[in-house]
């Protein structure tokens, strides 16, 4: 995914790193009860991370 994002100029949201850094805070089940599907807290973290990436990239406010 990283290679493709670079190749196509896409914004990559590195959720594997974000969740990897938080796997013990507070517990993995807090973010994804079954280890795959995000909980409400997990979805909030995904949304927050996505917004930060969009704002950082300067893509905020761009519409097609």
DSSP letter assigned to residue 11: P
Structure confidence at residue 59 (pLDDT):
73
- Per-residue CA distances from 1 to 24, 31, 54 (Å): 25, 22, 17
The pLDDT value recorded for residue 62 is 56
Helix ranges (DSSP H) in the chain:
2-8, 15-21, 28-31, 40-57
pLDDT per residue as tens, the chain (64 positions) = 999 999 999 989 999 999 888 867 778 889 999 989 999 999 999 999 999 999 988 776 655 4
Q: DSSP label at 26?
A: S
C-alpha angle with apex 54: 41 to 9, nearest 5 degrees? 125
Q: What is the pLDDT of residue 13?
A: 92
Confidence (pLDDT) at 60: 65
Residue 33 CA to residue 58 CA, distance in Å, equals 34
């Amino acid at each position: 995914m990283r290679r493709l994002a670079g190749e196509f100029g896409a914004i990559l949201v590195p959720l594997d790193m974000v969740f990897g850094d938080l796997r013990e805070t507070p517990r993995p089940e807090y973010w994804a009860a079954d280890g795959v599907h995000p909980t409400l807290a997990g979805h909030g973290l995904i949304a927050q991370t996505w917004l930060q990436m969009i704002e950082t990239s300067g893509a905020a406010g761009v519409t097609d």
